[in-house]
A = this chain, B = another copy of it.
Amino acid sequence: MIHVGIIGALGYTGKELIHYLSRHPVVRIYKLWDNAVDKKGARIDSIFPEFKNIVNTKVEHFNKKDLDVVDVVFLALPHTVSMKIAPSILDKVSLLIDLSADYRFKSHKSYQKWYKADHLDKKNLKKAVYGLPEINRSEIKGAKLIANPGCYPTSMILGLYPLAKEGLLDNAQVIVDSKTGTSGAGRKAATGLIFSELNGNLRPYKINKHQHMPEVTAFFKDELNKSVDLSFVPQLIPINRGIISMIYTVFKNKKKKDLYGLYKKYYSKEPFIRISKKGEVTELKDVAFTNFCDLSYLDFINDNTFLIISCIDNLGKGAASQAVQNMNIALGFDEKEGLI
């Protein structure tokens, strides 16, 4: 049995990690830490009654000494907080998976630009592996520090990778129209997030200003040395979970050749990527509560514009279940363990 601990257990990502890890056959949830509880701590199932009769681990303030008893740590912390604590954890555990953005950029300058903070752990930043298994599986095997990708970037990168890798994005322009469920905004008090404001509504926000946009362009730069001309239009819709990205790739010239085959070539053996028939679509609900990424349509909508529809669960493949997939790979388990 592997002993895991989660720092930041009380946010939506932490909670979703508990959900997946509690049903993982070789994992024991050993420690849950969150400074939001009071000093004496409280059982997780008293805070989230949905876990009654399933998990009863106590949630405590983080204490470095506790690291002696865990093998794997998940950081479900806000951006800029993870990097403060990660270095001291890395020495003590076999595997650290950070679900914040702190280790996703190779360049500390890009990080600084978008997160408005100096990077405090440049040494480990270089060593971190970007945990997108379908692309980085070999680097993830045996990795010690994994930067778990953002939710929007997971949907975008998986959708665009075959095109980028084949050089097809070099002279193309990419417009991503993404809709996300509200859990993507986190479990926090904010007037703009209350039910009365979002039900019956759709809200565009941070157009071309969202921090997940540079995560995508940096990825293609770092991994493939490719520049991608990307525009990003995120939108909140009144559902709890799920991201659907309509990825419009506008090629400079007419390019009606069949690109559908590419997707089959790259992904047909992937356990967590599902390709629809050409021209068919899937619905967002089909990926809810799963680790799947559904790619559909995959056809031209006019002479030079190719449409990829990419669906994930923002808390699943976009966060917690992908972190478990990464853990499975890093530690040599069956990649699907605890996930299907």
A residues neighboring B (CB under 8 Å): 12, 23, 48-50, 52-54, 173, 175, 177, 179, 181-183, 185, 187-191, 193-205, 207-208, 229, 231, 233, 237-242, 244, 246, 248, 250, 271-272, 274, 276, 281-290, 292, 294, 297, 301-302, 304-305, 307, 309, 340
Contacts and interface: CB of A to CB of B under 8 A. Distances in A.
A53 B271 contact: yes
B187 A189 contact: no
Contact of A191 (B188, B242, B271, B309): B188
| Residue from the set A190, A193, A241, A297 with the largest chain B CB neighbour count within 10 Å | A193
Contacts of A246: 177, 204, 233
A301 to B, nearest CB: 4
A271 B309 CA distance: 38
Contacts of A250: 173, 175, 250
Nearest to A199: B240
A158 to B, nearest CB: 15
A243 to B, nearest CB: 10
B201 A283 contact: yes
Contacts of A207: 281, 297, 301, 307
Given A207-B297, A301-B231, A286 B194 contact: no
Contacts of A199: 182, 195, 199, 238-240
A229 B303 CA distance: 10
A117 to B, nearest CB: 24
B173 A305 contact: yes
